[in-house]
């Protein structure tokens, strides 16, 4: 995107949740937050298992890379917490 009204570090995440057989998981939910604790978001998945977020690059904790922490809720998912480093 080349819009002068948008921040330089705008990030788009458009993701599809699927089973190991690549069948969509339409009943999932994703929470995303920055580790500094200033903002968070929640998105449900659509009928194709997709969810999306539009955010700016997060502020890093001292001595760490900028990142978002995510929790994915979906049937059959054994590990729910993830780190998304920039």
Average pLDDT in the chain: 76
**How do residues 2-13 score in pLDDT, each as one tens digit?**
555 555 565 656
Distances in Å between the Cα of 60 and the Cα atoms of 47, 52, 75 are: 34, 22, 32
Determine what percent of the chain is predicted with pLDDT higher than 90: 5
Q: Report the alpha-carbon distance of residue 28 to residue 40 in Å, rounded.
A: 17
Query: Could you tell me if 36 and 46 are in contact, meaning their C-beta atoms sit under 8 angstroms apart?
Result: no
What is the domain class of 10-85 according to CATH? mainly beta
DSSP secondary structure string for all residues of 9-68:
TEEEEEEE-B-TT--B-TT-EEEEE-TTSS-EEEEE--TTSEEEEEEEPPPPPTTS--EE
Mean pLDDT (whole number) for 22-34:
82
**How do residues 50-76 score in pLDDT, each as one tens digit?**
888 888 888 889 999 888 888 888 777
């Amino acid at each position: 995107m080349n819009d002068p009204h948008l921040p330089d570090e705008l990030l788009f995440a458009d993701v599809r949740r699927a089973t190991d057989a690549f069948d969509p998981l339409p009943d999932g939910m994703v929470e995303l937050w920055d580790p500094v604790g200033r903002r968070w978001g929640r998105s449900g998945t659509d009928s194709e298992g997709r969810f999306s977020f539009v955010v700016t690059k997060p502020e890093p904790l001292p001595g760490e890379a900028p990142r978002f922490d995510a929790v994915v809720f979906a049937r059959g998912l054994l590990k729910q917490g993830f780190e998304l480093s920039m």
